[in-house]
Amino acid sequence: MTTDGELIQRAAGGDRSAFELLYQRYARPVFGLALRRLGDRGRAEDAVQETFASIWRSAASYKPERGPGAPWLYAVARNAIVDRARGRTDLPAEIPDEADGEPGPGDRAEQSWVSWRVHRALEELPEREREVISLAYWSGLSQSEVSEFLGIPLGTVKTRTRAALAHLADLLGDELH
């Protein structure tokens, strides 16, 4: 599989197919990051477009010797999203007196990076594995209901779920420690 870094380098040379492949891999993670940061779908959509325009424009600044492509893409996305957030002028009607128990900036950054990596890894799964993960974790269905929904035996659902998790474990590597 072509690495993200190789695709960025090809995009720097004007390769549109490499750019489109990067888009397929990262559109969802970028959109998720923008949604969490901006809290508004319309603004998040614009941020995705701006992020990929930035990737296209600045791909030549990527230096593979400094590390893999994913962190570089994350930095470009974060900058584009922060720029869009700065453009926001509406202030909260009331400023709270006390801390609200929400995670601090450090925790949010960690959370964003984890989501970025996990969502990116999900894009790599075969469709049938991604489907069982999505149904098992986020649809509210039990594994028996997933089995019924997909029309496959319960044992197959469980085997496929384990295979998907093992596949994700390989893809996420360093996040597991």
Partner 1 sequence: MTEFEDIVGTEGLAPDEEERLRRVHELLLAAGPPPDLPPELARPADPNAAQPPEVPLLFRRRRAVAAVALIAAAIAVFAGGYAAGHSHSKQEAFVSRRDVSMHGAAGRAAVIHIGKKDAAGNWPMLVDASGLPQQQSRAAYYELWLTKNGKPAVPCGSFRMHGHTTSVRLSVPYSLRGFDGWVVTAQANEETLGPVVLTT
Binding residues for partner 1, rule: CB under 8 A, are 16, 19-20, 23, 27-29, 31-32, 35, 41-42, 45, 48-49, 52-53, 55-57, 111, 114-115, 117-119, 122, 127, 131, 133-134, 136-138, 140-143, 149-151, 158, 161-162, 165-166, 168-169, 172, 175-176
CB-nearer residue toward partner 1: 94 or 127: 127
Question: In degrees, to the nearest 5, what angle opens at C-alpha 11 toward C-alphas 7 and 13?
Answer: 120
Alpha-carbon distance of 146 to 150, in angstroms, equals 6
Residue 121 Cβ, how far from partner 1 at the closest point, in Å?
9
Sequence-separated (6 or more) residues with CB below 8 Å from residue 37:
47, 81, 82, 85, 112
Alpha-carbon distance of 84 to 38, in angstroms, equals 8
Residue 98 Cβ, how far from partner 1 at the closest point, in Å?
26
Residue 38 Cβ, how far from partner 1 at the closest point, in Å?
12
Alpha-carbon distance of 127 to 53, in angstroms, equals 28
